[in-house]
Structure 1
Amino acid sequence: MASPDVAEHVPASHIRAGSTRPDKMPAIIMSNGMTVFLGNASGPQYTARVFLDLHIWALEDGADTAKAIGFAVCNALKFAPNTEGFAIDAFSLPAVRWMRDPDPDKTYTHGVITVEAVIRWSV
């Protein structure tokens, strides 16, 4: 949300967590979080692989708007974010997918960027 390139395309109020099609466009919706526990690391440390999908929605003016948002998001997430209380040992964007709305009366473009990280923490 703090990236000027993302903010150029999507207002901060249109970036949220959820699982439904947005009512305001363009939008970024974070959903489908998944955690896979990897086990113990050194000493009292634990590790997990976490996944999060970022759904990008835009009205179709060509798919250019949605893809420009996706490009800005990918650039903003080139490096792991700073964290507090845990460490990020690996960070990537392994998949980006684009699709048109299956309803022929709609003019949405929908993209999904998967974010993947391996995190480590102590108890």
Structure 2
Amino acid sequence: MGEVDPAFIQEPEHRPKLSAIQAEGIPSIDLSPLYAHLSGDSDSVSDPISLQGLVKEIGSACKQWGFFQVINHGVPLEKRLRVEDAARKFFAQSLEEKRKIRRDEANALGYYDTEHTKNC
């Protein structure tokens, strides 16, 4: 690969101090009441108060954490594994291949590699 120009190498005292961060209390949102309600399960908790509570729980997790884990969503493991496999295969392709389905004004669901956060 070649030599790195010394101008690009930071002195050790200016390098980031790497350490593992243990996050505890990451919100876990149980969607079973919603999933049961949508599937028409007569035994489900489908009252508006229960669903409002779920909405508040999601809102709180978004405000406090910015993300959350979803459990009891009803998506089978096999399907999730297939999606993960397809994603790995897609992102392992060359940039040229991924750009063949580039997102634009006409195709909002295509590949997009020019996000502001990636190119700052």
TM-score (ref. length: structure 1): 0.24
Relative to total residues, which structure has the larger helix share, 1 or 2? 2
Relative to total residues, which structure has the larger strand share, 1 or 2? 1
Higher relative contact order (CA 8 A, sep 6+): 1
Larger radius of gyration: 2
TM-score (ref. length: structure 2): 0.25
